[in-house]
Amino acid sequence: MARVFKNAGDFFGRRSPVHLAAEALARRLGELQAPFVVTGGFALGGYGYERMTDDIDIVVREQDWRRFKERWVGLGYREKFQGSKAVIDTENDVKIPVLFVGGFPGDGKPKPVAFPDPTDAEVVVASGAFPVVSLEMLIQLKIASGKTAPGRQLRDYGDVVELIRCNTLSASFAERLDPYVREEFLHLHRIAGEPADLDE
């Protein structure tokens, strides 16, 4: 139990292996002049919703990731399995799932919402030592993922509800989102406005 509390304290104090791995990854990709952006659960903290996660989802151009692997696999990183996109930071024991620019969230099938180019200033926001996707893009990716991958829906939709609450988003925020996800956003917005069930 003490270890659980220490891990939580390290994470929320931004001293966890995940934070250290993100900082190291940012430095090494920067050395290669390979733009990237953080998405998924680790990006939530950039918008006021901190929840523990044990990996770092990044979006990067395929050619840049090939260069990163050629330079660093075997020197602090190893492939999750032979030939995989994902790597593991062996210094911090942290998984790094990799998403390529132009790919699709959730079931991976074509849809109006895709993983963005990290050089697009409209979808990248600086957050400490590493860039994260914009709030609009993060919400779109989360909803598109949950909408088409039922196994992820509870977590992804729950994350959107918390982002709405933490950022006090109004229903009009839906107008900033792709029409593909607007209906689900408005549904989750209504849920976010409901009081939490508390034991008396």
Residues of the chain with pLDDT > 70, as a percent, come to 88
Average pLDDT on 76-85 reads 96
- pLDDT attached to residue 57: 97
- pLDDT attached to residue 127: 60
DSSP lists the bridge partners of residue 132 as: 38, 125
Q: Report pTM.
A: 0.89
Q: Tell which residue, 159, 128, 93, has the closest CA to residue 14.
A: 128
Radius of gyration for the alpha carbons in the chain, expressed in angstroms and rounded = 17
Edge-to-edge strand ranges of the sheet holding 77-79: 77-79, 87-89, 94-96
* Domains of the chain listed by start with CATH number: 2-192 (3.30.460)
| Residue 134 reports pLDDT greater than 90 | yes
Residue 141 · residue 57 · CB < 8 Å: no
- pLDDT attached to residue 128: 67
Average pLDDT on 183-198 reads 85
Around 61, how many Cα atoms within 13 Å sit in the side-chain half-sphere?
Answer: 12
- pLDDT attached to residue 122: 82
- pLDDT attached to residue 14: 62
The mean pLDDT value of the chain amounts to 90
For 112-129, write each residue's pLDDT tens digit.
Answer: 999 999 999 788 886 667
Q: Tell which residue, 101, 181, 168, has the closest CA to residue 141.
A: 181
Average pLDDT on 34-50 reads 94
- pLDDT attached to residue 12: 46
Q: What are phi and psi of 14, to 5 degrees?
A: 60, 35
| Residue 197 reports pLDDT greater than 80 | no
- pLDDT attached to residue 36: 96
